[in-house]
A and B are shown apart, each in its own frame.
Chain A
């Protein structure tokens, strides 16, 4: 695919960086190519890094002006998108995010160039930027596109589009830069960048959790989704690095491993192994990301043996603080290995073309938690040692012993049922929480004590470190207590909220719906035409073709089939359906060795096919619906009940006349329900059977299917079963499913297209590869605005909330409804509230916003073909999960559902008053500790970095 002109600009930037890198490498070997001095090379580096930043700004400008000819812009924006999201869309895609990463790296390079910079740093740093830009070029986002916008993923259209990706990719850039700076022996710069990278990566992880919490409506902040797990990977080993840095030899192995993990994480996110976050399919370019990973893996692996021996020496050194730090490094390194293996092995299997899955959700909890719990225990036990730095072991042993004793007591209490944290979790889970809590509490206490002691003794660096660990301990406590509640869906309770009513949410909180209103965003539009390749549109196309086909079949059946039946002499029998008949008939019959006298009053006669017969013919049987009086000679051996049919053998044929037909029945099947009613409803309604005593029964309605007999018409005699041609059989089946089909064909949209023959023409074109007829532009968003009142222990405050429906989500098959999440804070706890619009009370459960959206949008589409097309696409999108499961009847279901949706939408009025909003509620204890702890951790490290650089400056000055 040809590149957009921005792509060529990036090629230029790539070349500039390439020249810079080659020149620096050559200069190191002593042979300069261009003949630049070291100052010249430095200027070249600054120029190329600056050019990369400039290129990114140009790329950003394409988003701001909505240049849909750039593929990345087309994939992530929509007509009339607000500026806020236009800028954010620039890093929302696979290409854009790595472009952002490269740009930040380039900016860091510029900052580094302000100080000393040697050829090694130029070469290494430029090298990573080189790879980043190469990925950007090869991943397809900079190609020329058709100029039609698809719209941003509905879940990304929120404020969190900025903080989380920005923090994450900036941190990745800093980590990579720290690793290369270390390799180029810029140790101090490396230390600062590693620290900044750690803070931002922690922030990125935290923001990812918060985003998930306030957006998805499940009430959790961590689900072991492969993208989350991938982002955790570099964090684990980077934290280990920060604990070993400075005193543990060869700890740079960990820094390189962290940089390797960064690229590995970006690769994992693109493999499609995660249901979330999959950028559109993986390409060759994604494999390219493994190259820098391998480049960083090399020095890591090389230094590994020496690193392990240093670690071992420290572990066995008997100095309490040394041992504690070494244990921390070991524990974090082990956790890194566990997580890495859980990602790399499935990725390798997936690359080899086989099916693989990564532990996630419940399986994630089952896999990771048992493996990582010992790490938590070790870290919490090591923290007091590091915080208090005792010179001998005895005092710490007493502390550890007392803490473990408390842990054992807590577990005993939990097992006894006195203190159960999560009633819906297993005893094992509760015991694990109880065991770890005293450890975390003592760790927190040690850190707090250390903070005050060191602050008092003016040891600022130690005080800052203590602050970090206060945050860690608080985070751990928060995760232990809130974890099961946040994760488990079983704690969610559903209640209905109707306008003017208040609902009790528990915990002393009530919520009331004061008012609501709807609006359609008239500024943002998307183009459905850009959704040609999605599953819903494909299904809609098939349904359209099927519709036309069914119609042609029906027409043929009604004409050709009917004619053949007439020739057969049976047309009159079929046409007896629906007429009110009262035909008496009686006879003797034997069923199961018992003689019966039957008197019946026939109210309906027809002809039905039940399958069977040869390939070219179909068997048909006369069918009668009647009320029947049965007198049995003796008790009936079989049960007369609705479920079991009776086989009747007539002693003398049951004969009756209707119009100019004479029907003789010699053998029949008696069913105790009305077969026509059953076909219309889908399931039989049992007949009313009254026992009149003396083995006499009155049953109504019953169905008698003639299995053997004669039909005489004029001078023709036909034997039952009757052999019918396929056309005649088709006519019969069309007649019996008449109601459903007629509804479909009389639908105004469809009828109009059928009348002019247009439907058949469009169906033909679609079958030949043309696209589904769709409107050029449709509004992107419909919003339900809510005014809520939250009442907490008597105090109330009003809240405006809105639920959003993004049309492009439905067309893409990922559902466009964005639930509104309202977390209500009570102390450190949250009452998690997720608000859904009401659903229409039929089997499809259309949600209110979809109905509103279509009600406002469909009439504006003039062309009935396009209206039908978009209706089918939305229906398919809404029911995509059901349709995927039910392959056989999918098209029929889709057509019927679309017809139903059209009707409901045409007569739409809001169902909030009748159905009420659906509210899902969950109470989550101590979740604020999770956010607070993480933030304190980051603040602590930030303070540490400031203190470190201040002390360097002091040393330099003195």
Chain B
């Protein structure tokens, strides 16, 4: 059987793939840098988490200057820390000042504002006082009136959904399937099988299951770390999936040749197969585990391994209808469709939020 399209085309496809991966890396660097320093920094401002009592004041307002020392005392003592309430102040004459005044609609100073996870729940414009305890009393009254401390569910700041849930396992099984049909590696396996070497399908399937499981666990761990640092990376990686899928659909094959594996024993070959396949499908794995599964879940790894092992065993059997279909250029189409579907589903799941 043909191992690939014209040699040239295959090389060009490899170049393009490398460029695409590099492009995704560059994009991630740019977007990641921006996200960490600008988007997330704003979300992690001390005003955005928990219950915060903020004094909005201005240098040019005499009432503000009058109560400021008392407020500073409250900030130093933090008398309501046990209830999870923090005292802070926001001067107008600061870099973030005008934006915050605008965001919370503060027009008068001094104004006390109660925020819960960044959202305004109560305010007291034109507050006056002659001592820290007087201000504290006013704050406590404000808190009780507004039920800011009630046990109602705290509003979550916009965080991307961890998603997956019910869909995770079958999706990972599907990804396993897609990986198995990797245009990088399956031709090698088929050639191996057709070459007459003895290959017990059950043994092959089992070895593949083990190898895939190990690989999946490693990837899941790595993906978990990556997710925490760059929240949207899985989304970009689904682009990689899409790309790989289109490549496959167009019948372009990039990958290994039989030569290196001719002398390997059968079960080792099958155990190593997942790694071979992952050359083309690594993005598949990372995207799958990062975007869909919340953590390094062993169950998810097993689902993936199962998805990969089944077709592996079938292919190892040699001349089946499946093999004949695959030989007749069906491989590219199957793989391509599976990859594209996986890409779209992961993206949709992520965006829509589960």
Chain A residues in the interface with B (C-beta under 8 A): 384, 388, 390-392, 394-399, 401-403, 405-406, 409-410, 412-413, 416-421, 437-438, 441-446, 448-449, 453, 477, 481, 493, 495-496, 503-507, 827-829, 921, 925-926
Contacts and interface: CB of A to CB of B under 8 A. Distances in A.
Contacts of B95: 493, 495, 504-506, 921
Interface string B13-49: 1011011101111110011011101110000000000
B13 A398 contact: yes
B93 A495 contact: yes
Interface stretch (B137-145, B169-177, B242-250): B242-250
Contacts of B12: 388, 390-392, 395
Nearest to A481: B34
B234 to A, nearest CB: 10
B94 interface: yes
A390 B250 CA distance: 15
A937 to B, nearest CB: 17
18 contacts: A384-B19, A395-B15, A398-B20, A398-B250, A402-B20, A409-B236, A409-B351, A416-B351, A419-B35, A419-B39, A437-B31, A441-B26, A441-B30, A442-B19, A444-B26, A495-B93, A496-B59, A925-B34
B27 A399 contact: no
Contacts of B99: 493
B343 interface: yes
A405 B239 contact: yes
Chain A interface, >50% SS class: helix
Indicate the member of B8, B59, B158, B247 with the most A CB atoms within 10 Å: B247
B56 interface: no
B235 A441 contact: no
Interface centre among B12, B26, B232, B238, by most chain A C-beta atoms within 10 angstroms, is: B26
Contacts of A828: 33
Contacts of A503: 94
Contacts of B9: 392, 394-395
B275 to A, nearest CB: 23
A924 to B, nearest CB: 11
B2 to A, nearest CB: 16
A829 B26 CA distance: 17
Contacts of B39: 419-420
Contacts of A412: 347, 351
A546 to B, nearest CB: 37
Contacts of B97: 493
Contacts of B130: none
Given A392-B9, A495-B94, A445 B239 contact: no
Given A413-B232, A506-B96, A419 B343 contact: no
B30 A437 contact: yes
Given A420-B39, A504-B94, A925-B37, A397 B27 contact: no
Interface in B242-275: 242-244, 246-247, 250-252
Interface in B49-101: 59, 93-99
A441 B239 CA distance: 13
Contacts of B236: 406, 409
B27 A438 contact: yes
Nearest to A413: B232
B154 interface: no
A845 to B, nearest CB: 15
- Assign chain B's interface to a size class: 35 or more
A953 to B, nearest CB: 32
A506 B41 CA distance: 11
B45 to A, nearest CB: 11
Secondary structure call for the B interface:
helix
A410 B235 CA distance: 9
B98 A493 contact: yes
B160 interface: yes
Interface in B227-243: 231-232, 235-236, 238-240, 242-243
Most A CB within 10 A of own CB, among B16, B59, B96, B244: B16
A392 B10 CA distance: 11
A491 B98 CA distance: 10
Contact of B19 (A449, A505, A506): A449
Given A398-B247, A409-B239, A449 B252 contact: no
Contacts of B242: 401-402, 405
B20 A417 contact: no
Contacts of A418: 158, 160, 231-232
Nearest to A388: B15
B30 A477 contact: yes
B31 A419 contact: yes
Contact of B23 (A419, A438, A506): A438
Nearest to A446: B19
A628 to B, nearest CB: 34
Contact of A398 (B8, B30, B98, B252): B252
Contacts of A438: 23, 27, 239
Contacts of A827: 33
Contacts of A453: 15
Contact of B243 (A384, A402, A421): A402
A390 B13 CA distance: 9
Contacts of B93: 495-496
Contacts of B33: 827-828, 926
A391 B8 contact: yes
A403 B243 CA distance: 8
B22 A402 contact: no
A444 B243 contact: no
A399 B239 contact: no
Given A395-B13, A398-B246, A409-B236, 8 more contacts: A392-B9, A397-B250, A399-B19, A402-B240, A437-B31, A444-B23, A453-B15, A493-B99
A493 B101 CA distance: 13
A413 B351 contact: yes
Contacts of B94: 495, 503-504
A456 to B, nearest CB: 12
List the 4 closest pairs (A to B, CB-CB), nearest first.
Answer: A402-B243, A442-B23, A445-B23, A445-B22
Contacts of A397: 246, 250
A504 B16 CA distance: 47
A358 B252 CA distance: 51
B19 A445 contact: yes
A453 B12 CA distance: 12
Given A394-B250, A399-B19, A441 B37 contact: no
A615 B231 CA distance: 81
B287 to A, nearest CB: 12
B261 to A, nearest CB: 25
Contacts of B59: 496
* Residue from B12, B20, B38 whose CB has the most chain A CB atoms within 10 Å: B20
Residue in B24, B30, B235 whose Cβ sees the most chain A Cβ within 10 Å: B30
B345 to A, nearest CB: 13
B34 A441 contact: no
B232 A403 contact: no
Contacts of A481: 30, 34
A368 to B, nearest CB: 24
B23 A441 contact: yes
Contacts of B343: 405
Given A391-B12, A401-B242, A925-B38, A406 B250 contact: no
Given A395-B15, A495-B93, A442 B37 contact: no
Interface in B139-179: 158, 160
Nearest to B352: A416
Nearest to A493: B95
B252 A395 contact: yes
Contacts of B239: 402-403, 405-406, 409, 438
Nearest to B16: A395
A406 B235 CA distance: 8
A446 B23 CA distance: 7
A490 B292 CA distance: 39
Nearest to A449: B19
Contacts of B37: 507, 829, 925
B22 A398 contact: no
Nearest to B239: A406
